[in-house]
């Protein structure tokens, strides 16, 4: 079998180069965004689109933005990216983990176009990766959750058993346990990032089992609505502030704030200083935001949570600070030791105390 060469290379490269050269001469920098969900999902994709708007706001007519929503992962994603590259995009943000291989494939055919892939781990000369340390936000959530629960049962709606999600569960658990040693986590795997019906079912099941705090790693507001119906269940906004459910059930939130990063990367392309990097930012640089802690939370808990947030932001405190054992009881971090990024990036184990098993 012949190696897949793109249109014998020539035509495409010529075109791509022409488009590249053209847009850098005088025209605006063209920035493309590939979204996995609809921009109105109120969560993940919504926040990426806010990032696009921030880019437009910052650069005005010096940029031209295009986006495509609801792009399935796989062959369709490759086409969406290729299309943007052919139409002269200089920089393309691909905003879902599943776009990893497609991004690498398309990037190899358009060496002059820069790509930025969210939450992945494969890079090349023209592919950067970026993600946020959501687990820092989970620590703050865990603290509030541990304080707020009366039944000591916390429900967690998880999406897929990947390191990103497991990290969040661990971080929330550690900090809930710290303030409430009796706390128990029930984890439901929804196997989706966005499916209001499934998320609502999961939330109802958890509430029926006695959970009075629901944490979610899925993107819809369905769990918030389910909690509102139940009346006495605390929730947290995910990916987006979900402020329409404040002050109760939503008492706080983790907000993905991509705007500053997007603006900075577009600026780098304009300045010609763009280079392939791996960015993993947390509360400090502002990539992870903690949404307003509502008055439904007692003032002392609120103050503690804010202090925790600030110490995470300043780097004074790391969300994974020893002593922490793994679920099987083996030692992971010694007292005072903090987790290294490599272990965190590939985290595939629960910490001690969580009774569930990671599905596989």
Partner 1 sequence: MITLEKRPTPSKLWSYLTPIVAVIATMIAGGIMFGFLGNDPVAAIRTIFWDPIFGEFAFYYRGQLLVKAGPLILIAIGLSMGFRAGIWNIGAEGQYIMGAIFAAAVGLAFYPMEARWLIFPLMVVAGAVGGILWAMIPGILKTKFNTNEILVSLLLVYVAESILASVSLSLLRNPDGAGFPGSRNLRQYESSANNELIAGWGMHWGVVAAFIAVIFAYILLSRHIMGFNIRLTGESPRAARFAGVNPDRLVLFCLGLSGALAGLAGMFEVTGPAAQISIDFNVGYGFTAIIVAFLGRLHPIGILLAGMLMALTYIGGEAAQASLGLPAAAIQAFQGMLLFFLLAFDVLTNFRVRFGREVTA
**117 vs 32: CA distance, rounded Å:** 12
Answer yes or no whether residue 50 interacts with partner 1 by CB under 8 A: no
CB 44 within 8 A of CB 216: no
DSSP string, 92-103: EEE-SGGGHHHH
User: What's the half-sphere exposure (Cβ side, CA atoms, 13 Å) at 103?
Assistant: 32
From candidates 56, 73, 304, 306, binder to partner 1 by CB under 8 A: 73
Both tokens of 313, joined, read 């932001």
Both tokens of 233, joined, read 């269940």
Answer yes or no whether residue 360 interacts with partner 1 by CB under 8 A: yes
**231 vs 222: CA distance, rounded Å:** 14
CB of 341 to partner 1, least distance (A): 13
Among the residue ranges 1-9, 283-291, 299-307, 328-336, the one whose residues contact partner 1 (CB under 8 A): 1-9
Instruction: Output the CA torsion sign for 184, 216, 280, 342.
Output: positive
**80 vs 264: CA distance, rounded Å:** 24
Among the residue ranges 65-73, 234-242, 310-318, 321-329, the one whose residues contact partner 1 (CB under 8 A): 65-73
CB of 238 to partner 1, least distance (A): 19
From candidates 163, 247, 284, 322, binder to partner 1 by CB under 8 A: 163
From candidates 13, 23, 68, 108, binder to partner 1 by CB under 8 A: 68
- How many separate helices (H) and strands (E) can be counted in the chain? 11, 14
CB 185 within 8 A of CB 154: yes
Answer yes or no whether residue 156 interacts with partner 1 by CB under 8 A: no
Answer yes or no whether residue 306 interacts with partner 1 by CB under 8 A: no
Q: Which is nearer to partner 1, 68 or 152 (CB)?
A: 68
Site for partner 1 in 182-241 (CB under 8 A): 191
The footprint of partner 1 (CB under 8 A) covers 1-8, 11-12, 15, 32, 38, 66-70, 72-76, 78-80, 82-84, 86-87, 97-98, 101, 121, 160-163, 191, 345-348, 359-360
């Amino acid at each position: 079998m012949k190696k897949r060469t793109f249109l014998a290379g020539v035509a495409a490269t010529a075109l791509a180069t022409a488009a590249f050269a053209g847009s850098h001469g005088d025209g605006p920098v063209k920035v493309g965004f590939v979204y996995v969900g609809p921009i109105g999902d109120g969560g993940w994709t919504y926040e990426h689109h806010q990032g696009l708007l921030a880019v437009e706001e910052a650069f005005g007519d010096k940029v031209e933005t295009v986006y495509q929503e609801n792009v399935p992962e796989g062959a369709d994603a490759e086409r969406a990216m290729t299309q943007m590259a052919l139409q002269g995009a200089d920089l393309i943000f691909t905003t879902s983990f599943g776009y990893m291989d497609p991004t690498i494939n398309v990037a190899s055919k358009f060496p002059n176009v820069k790509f930025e892939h969210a939450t992945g781990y494969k890079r090349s000369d023209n592919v950067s990766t970026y993600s946020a340390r959501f687990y820092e936000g989970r620590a703050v959530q865990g603290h509030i959750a541990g304080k707020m629960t009366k039944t000591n049962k916390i429900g967690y709606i998880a999406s897929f058993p990947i390191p990103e999600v497991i990290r969040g569960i661990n971080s929330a658990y550690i900090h809930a346990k710290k303030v409430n040693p009796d706390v128990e986590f029930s984890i439901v795997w929804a196997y989706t990032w966005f499916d209001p019906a499934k998320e609502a079912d999961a939330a109802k099941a958890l509430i029926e089992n006695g959970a009075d705090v629901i944490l979610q790693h899925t993107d819809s507001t369905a769990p918030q609505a389910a909690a509102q119906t139940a009346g006495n269940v605390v929730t947290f906004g995910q990916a987006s502030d979900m402020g329409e459910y404040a002050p109760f059930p939503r008492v706080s939130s983790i907000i993905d704030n991509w705007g500053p990063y997007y603006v900075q990367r577009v600026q780098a392309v304009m300045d010609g200083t763009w280079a392939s990097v791996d960015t993993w930012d947390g509360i400090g640089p502002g990539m992870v935001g903690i949404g307003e802690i509502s008055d439904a939370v007692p003032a002392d808990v609120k103050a503690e949570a804010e202090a925790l947030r600030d110490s995470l932001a300043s780097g004074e405190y790391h969300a994974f600070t020893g002593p922490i054992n793994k679920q099987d009881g083996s030692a992971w971090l010694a007292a005072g030791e903090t987790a290294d990024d490599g272990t965190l990036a590939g985290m595939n184990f629960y910490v001690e105390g969580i009774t569930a098993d990671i599905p596989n």
